[in-house]
Amino acid sequence: MKIFAAPAFSNEKVNPYNALLYRELQQLNANVEEYRHSKALRTHSDIVHFHWPDGDINRPSLGKSIQRMLLLAVTVCALKLKGTKIVWTVHNTAPHDARRPRLSNAFMQWFARRCDGFIFMSEANRAAFYQLYKTSPTSHYAIIPHGHYRGCYPPAIDQQVAKTQLGLDPTKKVLLFVGMIKPYKNIDGLMQAFNQAELADYQLVVAGTADTAPTELRSTMETLKNANTHLFLRFIPDSELALFMSAADVVILPYKAILNSGALLLALSYNRPVIAPHMGAVAELQKKLGLHWIYGYASDLTPASLQHALLALEHSSRPQVCPLDNYNWDKLAAQTLDFYGQLGTSAHTAAALSDSKKIP
């Protein structure tokens, strides 16, 4: 089976999700290549698998955005005429920071109707998608969760050593946010709630680049910073990611909206409990892994809800290692290959490949 993926391996340094999935598909004898418009048009493929099709059209220049939309539209139409099946893994139902929401939504509605199959990471993800999009009546879908990140990053080190290397107070627990600073992630709301909660035993650590964040947000964060808050507003390389995770007692994702989150799986991969809004994949993972690993708060993050969440996690017992076997990439790749086969192209080939490499 020949698969073009957009992206397949090109974004590995930013997000290893795609590379982890497609390397396992290659182990199942699938032929996976990086998607390029020209190559997809010249070369036969069974599947073209998109992940963030809106990303290429959300350009600062309106002219450039329209140009990219037309190029993608022409390519998709040509692929459909050739009999290639189009798959979209719906990481987000809509872009978080769309510059032109109406234009983006109109194009993505068009794109969704030309997809043969959709992959969602949770039932909530699927429900939210079908509330927003009208799709082809012949399209299929599968629910295949996000995989874990164990083995992708350096291992954890001693917590006190990590605190010392980061210049943190060794006597206080660490509440950690790590990731790119963007408005929808609600970091200013987290800082306000933390300050007002007066958590004397904790220090808040916010780590991640704020280069694309609005100037007002960065200014607000600097204003909210106090003696118990540590800001590392820069790109965090993989070599340092383990340092921050090692220092953490609890990881928090204070997002205003969340359907799926690699950051959630990253924290669990380092066996750190997580506080996040009770919605999307967070709620479903909480049911499967338990409140002692994922504490989902309702509505907005407030000083009271933050206090309650930390208290609940402090008083819950959990094993040293978070049980993530169901999120191993070999299992997720096998599910993905099975789904490809359901789309009516090379079905017998996909089934044969899958059966020959069955996951016990």
Q: Round to whole Å and give the CA distance between 71 and 58.
A: 14
**Tokens encoding 136:** 């082809």
What average pLDDT score do residues 320-330 get?
Answer: 96
Nearest to 164 by CA among 176, 174, 178: 174
What average pLDDT score do residues 279-295 get?
Answer: 92
Q: Is the pLDDT of residue 347 over 60?
A: no
Q: Round to whole Å and give the CA distance between 275 and 313.
A: 9
Write the single-letter amino acid at 35. Answer: Y
Q: Give, for 160, the enclosing helix (H) or strand (E).
A: helix 159-166
Give residue 202's pLDDT band: very low, low, confident or very high (50, 70, 90): very high
**What secondary structure does DSSP assign to 43-79, as a single string?**
S--SEEEES-TTGGG--SSHHHHHHHHHHHHHHHHHH
Q: Is the pLDDT of residue 226 over 80?
A: yes
What average pLDDT score do residues 7-30 get?
Answer: 95
Helix (H, G, I), strand (E, B) or coil at 156: coil
Position 353 scores a pLDDT of 42
Residue of 197 and 344 predicted with greater confidence: 197
Write the single-letter amino acid at 150. Answer: R
What is the reported pTM? 0.89
Give residue 324's pLDDT band: very low, low, confident or very high (50, 70, 90): very high
Class in CATH terms, 159-314: alpha beta
Question: Which CATH superfamily, name and number, covers 2-147+328-356?
Answer: Glycogen Phosphorylase B; (3.40.50.2000)
Residue of 346 and 230 predicted with greater confidence: 230
Contact at 8 Å (CB) between 119 and 89? yes
Helices (H), the chain: 17-27, 37-42, 62-82, 101-113, 123-132, 159-166, 187-197, 215-224, 238-247, 262-269, 280-289, 303-314, 329-342, 347-356
Q: Tell whether omega for the bond before 273 is within 30 degrees of 0, i.e. cis.
A: no
Domain regions of the chain by residue span: 2-147+328-356, 159-314
Position 266 scores a pLDDT of 96
Q: 27-42: per-residue pLDDT in tens?
A: 999 999 999 999 999 9
**Tokens encoding 309:** 């969440």
Write the single-letter amino acid at 246. Answer: S
The answer to whether 2-147+328-356 and 159-314 have equal CATH topology is yes
Q: 109-120: per-residue pLDDT in tens?
A: 999 999 999 999
Q: 58-111: per-residue pLDDT in tens?
A: 777 888 889 999 999 999 999 999 999 999 999 988 766 667 888 888 999 999
Position 104 scores a pLDDT of 87
Give residue 314's pLDDT band: very low, low, confident or very high (50, 70, 90): very high
Give residue 291's pLDDT band: very low, low, confident or very high (50, 70, 90): very high
Q: How far is CA 242 from CA 42, 93, 185, in A?
A: 43, 30, 21
Contact at 8 Å (CB) between 352 and 298? no
Position 100 scores a pLDDT of 81
Number of H helices, E strands in the chain: 14, 12
Contact at 8 Å (CB) between 187 and 224? no
Position 290 scores a pLDDT of 95
Q: Give, for 276, the enclosing helix (H) or strand (E).
A: strand 274-277
Q: Is the pLDDT of residue 346 over 80?
A: no
Position 99 scores a pLDDT of 75
Q: Round to whole Å and give the CA distance between 245 and 186.
A: 20
**What secondary structure does DSSP assign to 216-250, as a single string?**
HHHHHHHHH--TTEEEE-S---HHHHHHHHHH-SE
What average pLDDT score do residues 160-175 get?
Answer: 98
What average pLDDT score do residues 241-262 get?
Answer: 91
Q: Round to whole Å and give the CA distance between 60 and 186.
A: 23
